[in-house]
Structure 1
Amino acid sequence: MSEIEQRRIDPCSCGSGKRYKHCHGAFPAPWNDILEKGFQAGKARHDAEQARRRHQQGHGKPIISAKLGDVQFVGVGNSVRYGTWKTFEDFLDTNLKLVFGKHWADKELAKPENERHPLFSWIAEYARQLDLAPAAPSGIKTMKSVGAHSAYFGLAYNLYLLQHNSELKRRLLRRLRLRSEFHGAYYETCVAATCILAGLKLELEDEGDASSTHCEFYAVEPVSGRKFWVEAKSRSPGKDHTNIRDQLYKAFKKSADVERIVFVDLNVRDETLDETVADVLTSAVRECELTMTIDGQPTPKAFIFVTNFPAHLNIQAKPPRRMIVPLGFKRPEFGVGVGYRTVEEAFKAKRAHAPLYLLMDRFKAYSIPSTFDGEIPQFSFGTAKRRWVVGEEYTVGDTEGLFVLESGIVLPESKEAALVFKHGGDLVIHRDTLSDAELEAYNAHPETFFSILDRNARKERPETQLEWFEFAYSTYKDTAKEQLLEFMKDAPNIEELRELDQDELAIRYCGGFARGACPGSH
């Protein structure tokens, strides 16, 4: 059999018993080294791209898109949209208008302005702000975000996430089109989007089944299969208090067969809330635990998230902060103000409810992607160029030859990049000035600025015992039990430690590390 006919995965024809690719078909040693380095470099860049995409697009299905000439194709669930969109927001604008429909829009526009659906005031203010914004050479306008922009594109992104990851139910769309029910339905899309971005799979209820009460949807953690019953309640706007008793009562009136999550939106202007809001809400929930009953029966347990993001209440102003307060209803192990005896106990409680903490993180970090492919916008839209890529070859100054970029850090204060190059066996440090656009790109995604994933880039120093614990655990969680015992060989209870499994031993070691790094309260 000739080498051309010999498949690389077949046994080698020489009779050695090895596969051809590991025998007479093996690449020479230098080629093996080159291929290995190329593979590792490609993998590092892929890991960086995936991390950046998750940061922008969350843990649900990624944006699926392709470009042919000037035409952009975007997957939406099982369908495909196409158009000449330059940014992902351009696509979201088109998609939202398709969802609501031209017939509905024409009927609303025929009404007097003060009777129209709130969506039209958002669109008008956004268009006004966009007209004032300067255009870049690429034709893309950059404007400061205001409440109208956040509210409008927030709804557009939420609808896309539902279409792409689950389903946009007709009942929800009917409520969104009704002015009287819009804000409650809008909040439901916010909660659904948060669950999707946290990686939870949505299971929607049968709208035609009138035999029982329904939650908004079920949310399932895909790895463990843990299932949550999710309800979203938004208060009417403009109230001068933070009482959520009515919303909790209405949520608890519905039957649930799994763990409950109840989201309640305060729907008040941000400036009406002060630093006591978490304490006030905690006291209110404790009072409800003691006094509230449902049809004469005790109220059920629940995980409660009280939120506030009233961008729609001041559409001309800068978007307000995103507030979320976690509270345990008859769940003493969860929420603000819970006291744990040790940092190990606090970590275990947090890990036991990891999907809930990820929900909080995704709500606080919620943002709308600008690009289709997850690239940093400044690089994607041409305001900056990705000049420095770890693993690539460069000329450095007036020195002859090519230098391989080994690593780099950004020094924001001096607007410079400190770059470490390798040339033969020598390392050379070179500094290069960054443009304002490059610095903006770094600030947006410092961990992937050099096209590899650097989890420590601009990482803030831990402040609490729990933060120190999590910092240590990320390093030692997979360390072999024998190595951990070696680290702890001088502990007075070493014999007891030998009986623990690897995970518990890592937790004990990190607990000691955290107490040493941050004595006092955790």
Structure 2
Amino acid sequence: MTNACECGSGRTHRECHGHYFNHLDLLSPAVQEISSILGNSDFNAAIAVSHKREYGYGRLPESWVKDDVRHVRVNNITYKSAYWRTFNDFLFSFLQISFGRDWWQAERSKPLTNRHPVVQQFTQYEEAEKASSRGSSGLFSIEPSGPMAALMALAYDLYLCAHNEKIPKPLLERLKSAQHYEGALYEAHVIGIFARAGFEIAFEDETDKRQSHCEFTATNKGTGRKFSVEAKAVTSRSARAGASAEPPRLRGKLYDALLKQADHPRMIFIEINRAISPKESIPEWAPHFVEQVRQAEIDMMVGDTPAAPAYLYVTNRPLLVGGAKAKVGYEVGSAGFKIVDFPPERLRGIINMQRARMLHIEAYQVFQAMQQLSSVPNYFSEHPIASFLRSVHSEKRAKGFRHPLDAFDFLFRTYHGTDKNLLIEWMSDYVPPWELNGLNQLQLAELYCAGMAETMFADLHRTAR
């Protein structure tokens, strides 16, 4: 028998606020400061939090050293080498293993310009390594170009895919095709997002030609809700990619994604491959994104039917634009296509944002993972102290709350269990009693913390100015 959540949503506690608490480190990193956890002498909890912030909510890397040989377990297969000093060393080897040693060697034997893009990128990395010098630790320090970063990102995404589920054969075949490589590169990236966000991934049967399919089905481990996921990418060869003066065309990609058969609520990802301007506080593509989505909500039809609603995510990861001189960058955006309260920031007031977040907790969780888990770690998981120290350093650099919901989470963690009568007493001077008496304890706690958060967040930003 399952327990209903006290907020009255009709969902179980595990599906609702219980799930919310289980994922606070991803949803709101400001809530559980590692220094505060250490203040309670809970070193193991501090290590667990630091691991989540670096690796997310999928399976942690499993690695150990025996007789000076590094062992790494990927799902149920163990790989080993005496030459893997960093996690990146292993990832490069795993990339070659995934593509197949014979295929890799065959590509290496070709003239450089005829090689597959991923092998060209690896060659670029080797040349950069030769041109660099070793530091005191004996390791190379290289500033990666865009293509080199694409290579490392692909290696990590394939590892995440294999470690949490499996690498589907059709994905590998598309990756090996120079023509389909960039689209498959993006699909692997989206799979990596869901693996790190704590979703189970089930790939569609692409041999079934009776109907079209989305890329995969993602199941949230906390709520059990399933989503049909589709990924579309504007390639670097497009006339609208890079530094093009033409605005990005998102509508066509959205339409193509909506054509696919979906058995569950849709999550659609679109890569736009635009040059990143370091001078712009708001990405130049953002207004076009909003304008095109809002217009499509009004008039987009799929066949004879109005287009279905979807959670829409846009990424800008132009790693292959500009060749070897491409700059590394990552921008993200989200929108609710025919979903009026996603993202929660579309609503006014923290209490409304919180209620919208709980209604769309899985979609919010995905977007937070995109924002916070975009880098590739370079450490094996049995280095807990290093992971811990990096998290502490990151906390010292952070000032205040980044988002109004961070302030809410900080307060709600303390007051979510406060006695109902006490909450009513605290709010009675600000809210009419007849409005409070109809709320249960958890709803009262949300209302109280939202009001406090409004004041706290406003005061912090006035002080910052």
| Pairwise TM-score range, normalised by the shorter structure | 0.7 to 0.9
Counterpart in the other structure of 2:312: 304
Counterpart in the other structure of 1:353: 360
Counterpart in the other structure of 2:391: 445
> Where does 1:49-448 land on structure 2 (aligned, <5 Å)?
49-84=47-82, 85-237=84-236, 238=238, 239=240, 240=244, 241-271=247-277, 275-314=283-322, 316-317=324-325, 319-335=327-343, 338=346, 340-365=347-372, 366-373=374-381, 375=383, 379=386, 444-446=390-392
Q: Partners of 2:408 and 2:337 in 1: how far apart?
A: 27
Q: CA deviation at 1:223?
A: 1.9
1:285-326 CA-to-partner distances (Å, cap 9, x unmatched) read: 122222221222211111111111112224544743311110
1:492-515 CA-to-partner distances (Å, cap 9, x unmatched) read: 523542442121111111122133
Change (3 A) 1:474 1:64: same
Q: Does the aligned pair in 1 maintain the 2:152–2:376 contact within 8 Å?
A: yes
After TM superposition, the score normalised by the length of structure 1 is 0.73
Q: Does the aligned pair in 2 maintain the 1:327–1:336 contact within 8 Å?
A: no
Structure 2 residues without counterparts, runs of 5 or longer: 1-37
After TM superposition, the score normalised by the length of structure 2 is 0.81
Counterpart in the other structure of 1:493: 432
Q: Partners of 1:227 and 1:356 in 2: how far apart?
A: 11
Q: Does the aligned pair in 1 maintain the 2:276–2:283 contact within 8 Å?
A: no
The percent of aligned pairs where both chains have the same amino acid is 29
Counterpart in the other structure of 1:513: 452
Q: CA deviation at 1:188?
A: 0.2
Equivalent residue in structure 1 for 2:408, among 457, 469, 473: 469
Q: CA deviation at 1:42?
A: 11
Counterpart in the other structure of 1:460: 399
Q: CA deviation at 1:151?
A: 0.9
More moved, 219-228 vs 144-153: 144-153
Q: Which has the higher helix share?
A: 2
Q: Partners of 2:396 and 2:420 in 1: how far apart?
A: 29
Q: Partners of 1:112 and 1:458 in 2: how far apart?
A: 47
Q: CA deviation at 1:373?
A: 1.8
The letter for the 2-side match of 1:72 is R
Change (3 A) 1:197 1:518: closer
Structure 1 residues without counterparts, runs of 5 or longer: 1-39, 381-440, 449-455
Q: Partners of 1:202 and 1:346 in 2: how far apart?
A: 28
Question: RMSD of the TM alignment (CA)?
Answer: 2.7
Look at both structures and tell me which one has the larger radius of gyration over its CA atoms. Answer: 1
Change (3 A) 1:319 1:472: farther
The letter for the 2-side match of 1:363 is M
Q: Does the aligned pair in 2 maintain the 1:247–1:264 contact within 8 Å?
A: yes
How many pairs are equivalent?
412
Q: Does the aligned pair in 2 maintain the 1:227–1:258 contact within 8 Å?
A: yes
Change (3 A) 1:222 1:133: same
Equivalent residue in structure 2 for 1:503, among 423, 437, 442: 442
Q: CA deviation at 1:185?
A: 0.4
User: Higher relative contact order at CA 8 Å, sep ≥6: structure 1 or structure 2?
Assistant: 2
Q: Partners of 1:362 and 1:468 in 2: how far apart?
A: 19
1:362-417 CA-to-partner distances (Å, cap 9, x unmatched) read: 2223111211125378x59xxxxxxxxxxxxxxxxxxxxxxxxxxxxxxxxxxxxx
